[in-house]
Amino acid sequence: MTRRRSTPTVPRPAAPKRTGSRILRTLGWLDFWLMCAVWAILWAIGETWWVGAALTYAPLSLLCVPPAILGLLSLPWDRKAVMLHLIAMGVVAGPIMGFVVPVHRLLERSPQSGPPLRVITCNVQGFGDGFDARLKEILDLKPDLLVLQEASRPFPALEEALPGWQFVAAGNLRVGCRFPVKFIADIHLDEFDRRAALVAEVATPAGPMHVVDVHQMTPRPGLANPSRESIQSGEWGRQVSEWEHKRRREMRSLRRAVDAAVEGRPRIIAGDFNAPSTSPILRRYWGDLQNAFTLAGWGWGYTAPCVEGERWPDHTPWIRIDHILCSSDWRIVDCQVGRSHGADHRLVVADVVLKGAKRDIDAAPPNSVDDETGAPQ
């Protein structure tokens, strides 16, 4: 009589562990889809909905905290749940927070045709205390063109440090260049009854170009003073929506005014747009222009707010609202964000080359222009 060989039984996981794994995996999927929903709100809806506006201008890095905690809790229970939380963190750190990899620049095969024009834009916050460090950074970068906002008072040290430069100003907007520059227009808009841009013409050896110094209205008043009662009653949401509606109208009016002032010439539009690159409103009105950091920068490139605070690490900006935009006449070579303190915004610097220019930017001395037309000789 043959004896049947018994098959060893595999011990089944303990019921509590199976239940814990299911719960953590379910939380992982919820976490992933929640972050995808936040991404969709930021990119498709943005400031057109008060919830989107609140998300747009919040420190989005905080969204990494829940998946990080849940991922650590999942580690001894379910590695698939850990992967879901890691993917959710990747969605936050990448598209939600606006991480940039310059794929366009890495794939571009067009050679640089000559020395670039180095552009710096910065909201200088009235040349307040500590601006000396910012000035040193500007001088170390050796710019050709400066586009400043909130330059509300004279700052002799700046012009003394840049001998031979020419400056034009309108209110707290100021454009300076080592090439001849002349005032073209001061754009004052009705939405907030304020100056929103300064238009100047620069005569470079490579040809004349337009520069627009932009300072759009801040979202802060609309987002101010939230409370449990105002949020529950809908009052705060209405406040945010009304303010953002006016900001959208201002942005639309500004784009129309800029197009009317700079038609037909290469242009650089730079400044404090008070809107991140993830904003669908910014993309709607300025998206046809090249964003220097989006095309040639690395990382998040956050520029504001760069201040000391009680509830956030000092000098740690969480949003990129300062931009250098260029018409298709320009090839963007590089773009970086500054590191110095001295204002509540960090500067943005970009190297750009005019496509098809017959003369290099460095080919003529700064004053080699026709006195009547302002064109390079």
pLDDT tens figures, 269-314: 999 999 999 999 999 999 999 999 999 999 999 999 987 776 788 8
Are 296 and 215 members of one domain? yes
Cis omega before residue 67 (within 30°)?
A: no
Q: What is the mean pLDDT of residues 345-354?
A: 95
299 in the same domain as 166: yes
How high is the pLDDT of residue 19? 76
Cα separation, 129 vs 41, whole angstroms: 38
Let me know whether 171 and 203 are in one domain.
yes
Task: Assign 231 a pLDDT band (cuts: 50, 70, 90).
Answer: very high
Does residue 220 carry a pLDDT above 50?
A: yes
pLDDT value at position 371? 40
| DSSP-derived secondary structure letter, 100 | B
Parent domain of 177:
103-354
Q: How confident is the model at residue 351 (pLDDT cuts 50, 70, 90)?
A: very high
Distance CA 186, CA 196 (A): 8
Reported as a single tens digit per residue, the pLDDT across 164-201 is 999 999 999 999 999 999 999 999 999 999 999 999 99
- Is 75 strand, coil or helix? coil
Are 335 and 90 in contact by the 8 Å Cβ rule? The answer is no
Q: How confident is the model at residue 322 (pLDDT cuts 50, 70, 90)?
A: very high
Q: Within this chain, do residues 141 and 273 fall inside the same structural domain, yes or no? A: yes
Would you say residue 1 has pLDDT above 80? Answer: no
Q: Are residues 77 and 125 in the same domain?
A: no
Query: Where does a domain end: 60, 78, 96?
Result: 96
For residues 85 and 117, membership in a common domain is answered with: no
Residue 282 sits in the same domain as residue 300: yes
Q: Is the model's pLDDT at 376 over the cut of 50?
A: no
This prediction's pTM: 0.88
What mean pLDDT is predicted for residues 49-61?
A: 95
Identify which of 61, 103, 97, 141 has the alpha carbon closest to the alpha carbon of residue 297: 103
pLDDT of res. 335: 97
Does residue 5 lie in a domain region? no
Contact by Cβ (8 Å): 339, 346: yes
Q: Which residue has the higher pLDDT, 63 or 1?
A: 63
SS3 78: coil
**Together in a domain, 50 and 136:** no
- Domain at 153, CATH number: 3.60.10.10
In this structure, what token pair is assigned to residue 55?
């998300």
Is residue 360 very low, low, confident or very high in pLDDT (cuts 50, 70, 90)? Answer: low
- The angle formed by the CA atoms of residues 192, 152 and 273, to the nearest 5 degrees, is 50
Question: 107 in a domain, yes or no?
Answer: yes
Helices (H), 96-211: 103-107, 131-141, 156-161
Last residue of a domain, one of 78, 96, 114: 96
Count up the domains in the chain and report the number: 2
If you average pLDDT over every residue of the chain, what do you get? Answer: 88
Instruction: Tell me the per-residue pLDDT of 233-257, one tens digit each, with 9 for 90 and over.
Output: 999 999 999 999 999 999 999 999 9
How many whole angstroms separate alpha carbon 266 and alpha carbon 321?
23
74 lies in the same domain as 119: no
- Percent of the chain at pLDDT > 90 equals 67
What's the order of all strands across the beta sheet hosting 117-123? 166-170, 173-177, 145-149, 117-123, 348-354, 330-337
